[in-house]
Amino acid sequence: MASITIRNLDDGIKHRLRVRAAERGRSMEEEAREILRDAVGDSRPPMNLAHRLRARVARTGGVDLDIPVCDAMRSPPAFDQ
């Protein structure tokens, strides 16, 4: 994990951060981490496997698949004989 030092922080901002952290039951440091996560976190929604596959295939121009014709279902076996 990285560390960061913030210099020349206005006293009013520090006080509001302290109050906000206390209201949420957190330390000032944890509150600052949460604010930074919200502000610069990954704003893209996570991609699931289907989206990743579609994105990969889309780069190649797509794929056309022949869908086989389904035959009628056969009758289920009779076990009462």
Give the pLDDT confidence score for residue 64 in this predicted structure: 80
Q: Is the Cβ–Cβ distance between 18 and 28 less than 8 Å?
A: yes
Domain spans of the chain?
11-58
Say how many CA atoms lie within 13 Å of 69 toward its Cβ.
Answer: 2
Region 19-48: mean pLDDT is 88
Give the pLDDT confidence score for residue 55 in this predicted structure: 82
Region 22-30: mean pLDDT is 94
Q: Where are the beta strands (DSSP E) in the chain?
A: none
Element (H, E) at 8: none
pLDDT at 27 over 80: yes
Q: Across all residues in the chain, what is the average pLDDT? A: 88
Residue in 1, 81, 78 with CA at minimum distance from that of residue 33 = 1
